[in-house]
Amino acid sequence: MGTTGQLLLAAAATFLLAVVSAVAGFGGGVLLLPVFTALFGLRFAVPMLTLTQLASNGSRTWLNRGEVRWPLVGWFAAGAVPLAVAGGLLVAHAPLSPLKRVLGGFLIGVVVWRRLRPRVGRPRDRAFAGVGAASGFGSALLGSVGPLTAPFFLAYGLTRAAYIGTEAAAALTMHLTKVAAYGAGDLLSRRVLLYGAALTPAALAGAWVGKKIVGRVGDRLFVILVEAGLVAAGVLFLAGLA
């Protein structure tokens, strides 16, 4: 397949999965990683995925800006930024498969735990510094661990626009840091930057379409959709498909 064909397939996948992310708050990065890996190779796919997520998360933050819980974003960033730097510098040499399987088991376990104990206490704001630290490190190594944060934002009581916007703003701080770390590690080649720019319109369009859809989804159905996405992401990680 030529370069044009690769980019067209990547753009179609980016649009569709940006819609998924805009509705569920996550999932696009997890599902895009195997697509980008198949098209471009893993070491190229991880920084390229980060660039598309910058566009996707930035647009979701803007579209839901009135509902963003900025104190949570601040606590998340306090943990995510330093660990994203560390993970970004290690990504060229880290063993990725074991980390993916641990994450997959965790995601499925979280959904089971939520169903067995539906009335858990709401986490404190400062707990999101720990969530950010784990997410920042894992995301820098794996390209995306958006499903990792979902259970904590759900437990806090966020749904629909508040959940989508807050999760996206938190992720945005992490992805900006990763871009800087990848640049320091010589992973942001000219090809990565050009491809990332070429896929940005697809990510923006998908976020806009998803915003239109999520406004019509009730809170109960929204949580079910997110939990279904968590299980799907966990299976992909365990199976080594993401």
Mean pLDDT of the 9-31 span: 77
Looking at residue 129, its pLDDT comes to 93
Q: Residue 78's pLDDT band (boundaries 50, 70, 90)?
A: very high
Q: Residue 217's pLDDT band (boundaries 50, 70, 90)?
A: low
Looking at residue 236, its pLDDT comes to 74
Mean pLDDT of the 76-91 span: 83
For residue 189, which phi and psi values (nearest 5 degrees)?
-75, 170
Q: Residue 179's pLDDT band (boundaries 50, 70, 90)?
A: confident
Instruction: Out of 43-47, 167-171, 181-185, give the one with best mean pLDDT.
Output: 167-171
User: Using an 8 Å Cβ cutoff, are 207 and 161 in contact?
Assistant: no
Looking at residue 97, its pLDDT comes to 67
Residue with the bigger pLDDT between 158 and 149: it is: 158
Pick from 239, 227, 240: nearest CA to 27: 227
Q: Is 186 exposed, middle or buried (0-12, 13-18, 19+ CB in 10 A)?
A: exposed
Q: How many domains is the chain built from?
A: 1
Residue with the bigger pLDDT between 14 and 90: it is: 14
Mean pLDDT of the 204-209 span: 85
What is the four-CA torsion angle of 130, 169, 179, 138, rounded to 10 degrees? 30
Determine which of 33-47, 105-119, 185-199 has the lowest per-residue pLDDT on average.
105-119
Residue with the bigger pLDDT between 165 and 113: it is: 165
Per the structure, the complete domain to which residue 168 belongs is given by: 3-239
Q: Percent of the chain scored above 70 by pLDDT?
A: 77
pLDDT value at 203 more than 90? no
Looking at residue 27, its pLDDT comes to 61
Looking at residue 221, its pLDDT comes to 72
Q: What angle do CA 32, 34, 37 make, to 5 degrees?
A: 105
**Residue count (the chain):** 242
Q: What is the pTM of this model?
A: 0.70
Looking at residue 44, its pLDDT comes to 77
User: Using an 8 Å Cβ cutoff, are 201 and 7 in contact?
Assistant: no
